[in-house]
Chains A and B, each alone.
Chain A
Amino acid sequence: MTATTTEKPVNNGVNVDALLGAREALTKAPEAAQFKWRASVNWVNGTHSRTDVNGFFGLGAEQKHKSTFTFEADHPEIFASEDKGATPVELVLAGLASCLTAGVASVAQLRGIQLRSVTATLEAGMDIRGILGADSDVRNGFDGVKVTYKIDADASPDDIKALVAQSQKRSAVFDIITNPTNVTVEVK
């Protein structure tokens, strides 16, 4: 009734054994499960900024990505900006999209479902009177996010829906967006 298991090997490029091993190991050693994710930003000019990610902490030690990844952020010209990068809110959508999609692949691998293609489009509504300070009753952030997946896989429509549902259940970014988080911003 739960996982679909198939005879033929399924390969979505996810090492499920490693993930399950990590889950078991970290259940026994919860202190190693404590991670710190980091990013550092430099203002460039106007609304343009550049954010680097590389180092993070996890498994009890400092860790590094293979290289530094850089994200340019700016605003489009209709905001009187120079459009040197995605808007920060689009980066949030990219974060949600990639988190859910990684989850779809992992859950599919675990359930023995071969994926052929996975695409999704995301759309988030926003009333920009909030960020412009034009109406204090309007919130700054999204008034909702709509994600629409198209998935071609060796599974029934309900099993595919269950993949996407399980991916949301285990997604960090989905949790970050749907639940409040304390944010502390200091100036040194």
Chain B
Amino acid sequence: MRTTTVVIGAGQSGLAASWWLTQRSIDHVVLERGEVANTWKRERWDSLRLLTPNWQSRLPGYGYEGDDPDGFRTMPETIAFIEGYAKAIAAPVQTGTKVTAVRRNDDGYEVETDRGIWHADSVILATGAFNLPQIPAVARSVPAGIATLGANEYRNPDQLAPGGVLVVGASATGAQLADEIHRSGRPVTLAVGEHVRVPRVYRGRDIQWWMDAVGLLDEPFDTIDDIVRARNVASLQLAGYPDRRNIDLNSLTTIGVKLVGRLAGVNAEGKAQFSGSLRNVCALADLKMHRLLDAIDTWVTERGRDAEFAPPQRYEPTAIEASPPLLLDLTRGTVKTILWATGFRPDYSWLQVPVLDPKGNIRHDGGVVTESPGLYVMGLPFLRRRKSSLIDGVGDDARDLTAHLADHLGARAVQPRNVEQAAAGA
């Protein structure tokens, strides 16, 4: 089978790419291992809601039209939204097609699947950044008898044995799971490393509204001092609760969650060892949050818009007990489960083009895999913009990358007059 461009993955990135390829009259197919929005369907927990408000899911040619623009979609709603997009744009998706290898050959790329081989001039990898749980090496030292699971395997608290739970990681995932599990009557200890604290609502607006308004989400990757670091920053400590309440370490401490430092090791006696750096990682997060709020306040004042919004506010520093525990005996039966909320990593086990760095990440320049012309990647953190890994960010990236791809093809890619306008539509 032959096509011009193979898009791998039918999530928001792959579908946005498809929309733009269609606008540019580039023949393509979107291969999907499962169903449209597969990761959202099968690899996330039941109570998860999107961390971005409804209005902020602007896909090219598609957007939110309901009556709750500030609400947060549940997973079924998210899935319906992405499926609706696939239908609306009539994306040429081939579901149930698992890619087993991508190779480069003389006239482009060979994409091997469990349903045959595709030949293409170019390939867009839109399989996402969050395929496999990133489990730290210390997991191997956890004593027998303790259940361990990754955040992608967690569905709800009933799945866990009664008793204590150690949640490792306090970004968006870890904080939400600590909250839900502790409220289920299983006492949670939360191991906290570097994290990014932000309020859900500031001066009457969602934090995402602010980040969009002040231009942070549109910041381009090639203007950032240290893009490697920016791409590795933890997710914002946020939840999409219907009541828009904050989730932060103080809210967790208030319900009884015990905070400890980053999980540094498990010693020979089966005791978990926590770093003594808890106070500093919290100080870093508090300072960083206040720098963000300062930048928002400055933006408002410079535009003379203070009257439009609630007054500025500052939040209590993260409260840390005088001497947080450094050890937790895992052999005494109080901790029954360890939950790894230590992030995800992409899975490129099928990619047989030598473009991975020693850490297994694709070397790319804003999504263009320069070492292998015709190969593109999408949906990674800060790929081209701070919003690149948000649903709201894939449209702009898809526009840029398909433009590059069209140039690469040297095709006389047809540019209908209203392409750019149509993208902004819906």
Binding site for B on A (CB under 8 A): 1-3, 30, 143-144, 158, 161-162, 165-166, 168-169, 174-175, 177-180
Contact = CB atoms under 8 A, between A and B. Distances in A.
Contacts of B275: 178-179
B291 to A, nearest CB: 6
A-B complex: 5 closest residue pairs judged by Cβ atoms:
A178-B276, A179-B264, A168-B280, A178-B277, A165-B284
Contacts of A162: 284, 287-288, 291
10 contacts: A1-B291, A158-B287, A158-B291, A161-B283, A162-B284, A178-B275, A178-B277, A179-B264, A179-B265, A180-B267
Contacts of A143: 323
Nearest to B266: A180
Contacts of A1: 216, 291-292, 295
Contact of B290 (A30, A158, A169): A158
Nearest to A145: B276
Contacts of A30: 358
Contacts of B284: 162, 165-166, 169
Nearest to B262: A179
A67 to B, nearest CB: 34
Given A1-B216, A165-B287, A178-B264, 5 more contacts: A1-B291, A158-B290, A158-B291, A169-B194, A179-B275
A184 to B, nearest CB: 14
B225 interface: yes
Contacts of B169: none
B295 A161 contact: no
Contacts, number: 48
B74 interface: no
Question: Interface residues of B toward A: which range?
Answer: 20 to 34
Q: Give the residue among A3, A143, A168 with the most B Cβ atoms within 10 A.
A: A168
B164 interface: no
A180 B273 contact: yes
A176 to B, nearest CB: 11
A165 B280 contact: yes
Nearest to A142: B276
Interface string B273-300: 1011100100110011011100100000
A180 B264 contact: yes
Contacts of B225: 2-3
Q: Give the residue among A161, A165, A168 with the most B Cβ atoms within 10 A.
A: A165
A160 B227 CA distance: 24
Contacts of A175: 277
Nearest to A177: B276
B290 A174 contact: no
B374 interface: no
Given A174-B277, A178-B276, A179-B275, A165 B283 contact: yes
A161 B264 contact: no
B290 to A, nearest CB: 6
Interface string B198-225: 0000000000000000001000000001
Q: Give the residue among B283, B290, B323 with the most A Cβ atoms within 10 A.
A: B283
B261 interface: yes
B277 A168 contact: yes
B201 to A, nearest CB: 20
B140 to A, nearest CB: 15
Contacts of B291: 1-2, 158, 162
B295 to A, nearest CB: 5
Contacts of B280: 165, 168-169, 174
A43 B316 CA distance: 52
B261 A178 contact: yes
Contacts of A3: 225
